[in-house]
Amino acid sequence: MSAATPLSLDVCFAMGCGHSEARFPSVIVVRRSAAAGAATVLVAALLAACGGDEQQVSSMPGQAATIIGSGSTAQLGAMEAWRAGYAMTVPGARIIYRANGSDNGIRDFIRGDTAFAGSDVAMSPEQKAQVYKRCAGRALQLPMVVGPIAVIYNLPAITELRLSPTTLTGIFSGKILTWADPAIARENPGADLPHRGIRLFHRSDGSGTSKNLTRTLRAMDGWPYKPSMHWPARGGEGVQGSAEMTDSVSHTEDSIGYVEYGYASGAGLRTAKIRNAAGEYVALSPESASRSLSGAEVAGTDGDLTVKIDPTVKRRGAYPIVLLTYEIACDRGSPALLRGFLRYIAGDAGQSNLSLLGYAPLPPELLAKVRASLATMT
């Protein structure tokens, strides 16, 4: 079964099914992009299970009816499925998530504008100090979803494209400018590569996807810039957010870009096979992405479950470009609704269907640590 596109902005999912959010202010709205197609399996199942009893739409006694989070666009598909599923489990629960990029999500949380943040990169020491001050104590930084990063391309005549980290570095740094460049041709013998310029797209907003991509390239083959959420290289065209990246590559022949697997799969985009440290050109899938995290170590302490991902480890069958999205919240004094929601998404219901949405679930040993940390949250 193919992965679903991360949901975007159109279909209302209410606890009473079919009612408007204006009429029922406690309704969850699940939105779906035009590129979604038939593969929004998990949300479709939630819709099918939904009953029509308007009495289900109610606030939870003694709890905040609404909590707000913001940040990572990479986890948007998972987040909207989680919101829909949790609303069915806890009638009246309203979780708002603004996918405005990892950098903005951390900033919103530090300012106290949100109850939690989603980030595709671990917080910097400076950010961590600000977050601890905002929480008046310890903060949790919890890995919650594995998001494989797809290298997407639009070459109608090329059904399979193989790229090494060296060649990717050349393309994304602006040194390789045409598709028929000898470096690309050597890795794709017999391919009818066009003698045309490469249309390169990169993120213009502060993006954890950008940082994870460039961090992998730097570790594997000398990306010339410091990995950053802000794109450092000259050239190419900047686009904001994962949805705009997907749309830009979809509609631009001879183009290349990078986006989370769920977006690429849902839009039907071709994805390159990437050479890993074991020398294999590996196709992207939830299974090959999960292999890259097998045995990964937790580097953080005291509620910080930052995971050290090493793309240079020689694991056969491992797709090397992945990210982890972290949920950031205060360890003490967070709303009961938030505590319940985080425990839900780390539970079997939240993790079991992620592969249907273009993600990979957390490895069991890491998931156990996340659940143990959430059990201490009050």
pLDDT tens figures, 126-152: 999 999 999 988 899 999 999 899 999
- Our CA angle for 151, 166, 192, nearest 5°, is 65
Q: Is the distance from CB of 374 to CB of 334 less than 8 angstroms?
A: no
pLDDT for the residue numbered 182: 98
| Close Cβ partners of 350 (under 8 Å, ≥ 6 residues apart) | 82, 85, 344
* 33 confidence band (pLDDT: 50, 70, 90): very low
One-letter amino acid for residue 146 of the chain: V
Highest mean pLDDT among 22-26, 39-43, 237-241: 237-241
pLDDT for the residue numbered 50: 36
Domain annotation for the chain: domains and CATH numbers: 41-145+329-374 (3.40.190.10), 149-291 (3.40.190.10)
Q: What is the pTM of this model?
A: 0.74
pLDDT, tens only, 66-103? 999 999 988 999 999 999 999 999 988 999 999 998 99
- Our CA angle for 209, 210, 212, nearest 5°, is 65
| Helix 165-172 × helix 208-221 angle, to 10° | 130
Flag the least confident range among 39-43, 198-202, 214-218: 39-43
Pairing of strands 94-98, 307-308: unpaired
Q: Which of 17, 151, 10, 5 is nearest to 77 (CA)?
A: 5
Beta partners for residue 298, in sequence order: 307
The answer, yes or no, to whether residue 20 has pLDDT greater than 60, is no
* Tokens matching residue 5: 């596109």
Decide: residue 330, CB within 10 A, 0-12 exposed, 13-18 middle, 19+ buried.
Answer: buried
pLDDT for the residue numbered 118: 97
CA distances from 298 to 62, 126, 135, 258, 307 (A): 36, 20, 22, 26, 4
pLDDT for the residue numbered 57: 27
Beta partners for residue 119, in sequence order: 326
Decide: residue 317, CB within 10 A, 0-12 exposed, 13-18 middle, 19+ buried.
Answer: middle
* 192 confidence band (pLDDT: 50, 70, 90): very high
Percent of the chain with pLDDT over 70: 83
Flag the least confident range among 188-197, 295-304, 315-324: 295-304
